[in-house]
Each structure stands twice: as structure tokens, then as C-alpha cells.
Amino acid sequence: MRFVPLAVAGLTALALTACTAGKEAAPSLGAQPKPSGTASQALPAATLELWHGFSTDAEVKAFEDAIAGFNKKFPQIKVNATKGVQDDQITQSIRGGKAPDVAASFTTDNVAQWCRSGSFQDLTPVIKQDGIDLTVLPEVSRTYTEFEGKRCTMPLLADAYGLYYNKALMKGEQPPKTLSELTALTKKLTVRDANGDIKVAGFVPSFQYYENSPSHMGPMVGATWYNPDGTSAIGSDPAWKQLLTWQKELVDWYGYDKLEKFRKSLGDEWSAEHPFFKGKVAMILDGEWRNAMIAGDPKAKDMDYGTAPLPVADDKPDLYGSGFTAGTVIGVPKGAKHPQHAWELVKHLTTDTGSLVTLSNALRNVPTTKAAMESPDLAEDANFRTFLDIFAHPKTSTLPANVNSVFNQEALSTFLARWEKGAVTDLDAGLKSVDKQIDDKLKLSGG
């Protein structure tokens, strides 16, 4: 894939929020954009401000290495990278007229709001004029980087979610492919003491356990979040009821109080005390980055474990091999001082195979182009390959962009905590109540 200059097109941005009066033009991404081969000669010297959320020494170095590749193409462009920046800081900087030239976010939750408000500039014109073929990206990554026809971000590495299993605890059992197989194996592998307390859990079904969020587990049954008009589909999609019914039966088998006692006794998810490392849980739902955490932990690195796609609903075998994905996104905020230079940096970080492979090898996240996933320079083994395959699976899904994404997830998660506790007597009515909360919030947000 190379870039071909097409018709000149600039970027414009809407006012920052719906409550801000009027419209304000954002800087153009270049009056005469050039193809990659000559752009380094066409652009004047500049210093770019790049904000990102990476914070550890290894993460920061990986980003610096990727930027070094950009500097070889554009030696006249200096990049000042600021680490550990969160979304609210990015948003506030834009509102205050002090936006960086480029900003990266760990989450897709704010993409819809950034695209709709014009906080991040629509990249569609420059993508077209540079001849970038977006089909090099899996469809799912294209969906979580745009909203309402505006592509205001590009994907920069991805997370994919699958099943990790401790081979010693599995005792020769194969990873389950269906929910019924997961239930049976969970019961077989669970160990209790004389009082019935859980010593080893086959699988923890609680939605409050680490990565067991509804967004991560929903793809196991093909659950949908929204109707075509943007209203909530949680109460009308039977897949949610299917997932919750299965989950509650397994919670009840453990005993809610026993399960909660066990869950609350477990170590921190981000420490060496993770229960999977300690042999306290045989199977877990987790992201591809857990491979790197296992390899980096002196006490866990020799653990014999495997990875597989998540089990799926028994009546939906075509879903097997897929899962949930989201990832880091990057774009050019409104008010960037050097938008053309910024676009060249975004383009390099998100489409250059060498850059993506460098980042993936260092951070152990999934690279987001097909060329990078197939690169012979990509460091992989069987356990990491699982997540590359999940990410590329045609039925892998994500949480669709929504202006109230965080609120909607919290509304459902709050309900699920009550559900698994046994405080919900009517599941259908409860899910409809979640719909109402989400739809009422949507109306307040202007649809």
C-alpha cells in the first residue's frame, strides 16, 4: 500500500460541544498534500506535540522507537511526546484552546463525542487524497474509529479478548468451545474445602471479576447493544437474556456468597498476585496483553498455559473463533498548530508496517493492519497467535461508538451486579429498565 495524491481537501471541525454557539473552522490538513515519497521535502520544519497514555518505561521506549522511524522520513519534524495523558486532559486542552497536535487514547469510549463535536478533526478527506485503502484494516477496527460518517481517529494497536487456561489445572481437558462445555468444565475443575468455600475456581462467572465486563462477554452470545436508530437493544435482543441466564445458573451453582467471598480474597489484577498466576483460577477471560504480563513475572513466566477463543452459545457455533476487540486510537485534535505534519505522524504510526510491528513487539498488543499481522518480523507464538486470529475473525465485534458510551456501560453493569446477587425478580423487566435509562440519556444528549 502506497499513497497517491488526489484532489486537495482540507479538514473542518464543528464547535466543541453542542452548547457552544456557532461554528469554528479547524486548521486545514495541508493545502497541497504530497505522497509519502516527496512529503519530507514539501513540509517545512516544525515541532509536534504528541500526547499519549503510555506510562511505563518499556511502553514509552516503544513509542519513541516508532517515532524514530517517522523521523527518518521527516528529519525536519521534531516530536515532543508527553506520556500518561488521560482522555479528560485531552478534552480539556481542546476546550481551552491548548490542544496538542496529535493525541492518542487507550479507550474508544470518547470517539463518538470527539467525532460529533469536532474535537478531533475528520480525517476522511486526507485519507482519500493520500490514497489510503482502509480495507487493510479489519472491518471491526474501522467501526470503532468513526462515528456518524466522520473518521476522526485511526486505530493504533488493538486488544482482543480470549480464554486463558492453566494446563496443569485442566488435567488434560481441552478448552471449552460452548457455554455448556464451559459450565461442565468449571464444575469439574472447581475445588472446595470442607466448609464448601472455594479453593480453586474452574471459571469465575461474576460480571464484577476483572475483565468480565458485559462488553467483553456479550460477543460470546452475539449480543447487540443498540438498534439502528441508536436506542438500546439490550431489552429486546434475546442474546442478553441467554447470556445472563447461563451466567446466573453458574453463579448459583457456586453460591453467590461463596463466590463473592472467593472473588474478594483474590489479588490485584495488575500485580504478581493475579489468581491465574497463583493457580487459583483454571480459566479466565482476558486480553492478549496478559501474555506479556505472564512472561514478565518471575513467578509466573514458567507456568504452562494455553489460549483459545472464548466459548460461545451452543446454538451459535459460527461465533467460535471470534471475540471482543477495541484498542488505542489516535487523531488530530481541533486547534492543532501543525495539522499537516500531525497527519503525517498519524499516518505513519497507523499504516507503516515497521512502526506497527515495532510497537506490537514491545507492547504485545495486536497490530491493526493485515500487513503488520502477517509480517515475518512480528514476534509471536501460539498463545499470541490466538489473539491475532480473534482480531481478524469476521464475526469479532466491538462496543459500537455512542456519545453516552461510559454511561450506558455503567447502567448495564450496575444492573448486572444486582442480577447476579439475586436482587432482580423479573429479568425481562430489568433489562427494559436498562433500555429506558440509556434511551432517556440519549434524548438528553440530542439523539
Indicate whether 5 belongs to any domain.
no
Do residues 438 and 335 share a domain?
no
Handedness of CA 348, 350, 353, 359 (dihedral sign): positive
Kindly state whether residues 318 and 433 are assigned to the same domain.
Answer: yes
Which pLDDT score, from 0 to 100, does residue 447 have?
72
User: Is the torsion defined by CA of 328, 155, 147, 344 positive or negative?
Assistant: positive
In a domain, 21, yes or no: no
3-state secondary structure of 99: coil
Task: Report mean pLDDT in 10-residue bins for the chain, 447 residues.
Answer: 29 32 41 42 89 89 92 95 95 95 95 96 95 93 94 96 98 97 98 97 98 98 96 98 98 98 95 95 97 91 96 98 97 96 96 95 94 95 97 96 96 98 98 98 89
Pick from 14, 61, 2, 74: nearest CA to 343: 74
Q: Count structural domains, the chain.
A: 2
Note whether 299 and 339 are same-domain residues: no
| Domain residue limits at 79 | 36-159+325-392
Quick one: 204 and 351 in the same domain?
Answer: no
Amino acid at residue number 185: L
In this prediction, residue 28 carries a pLDDT of 53
Residues 43 and 152 in one domain: yes
Residue 24 lies in a domain: no
Is there a single domain that holds both residue 308 and residue 363? no
Quick one: pLDDT at residue 41? 52
How many of the other CB atoms lie within 10 Å of CB of 224? 15
Predicted confidence at residue 59, as pLDDT, reads 86
Task: Tell me, yes or no, whether 23 lies in a domain.
Answer: no
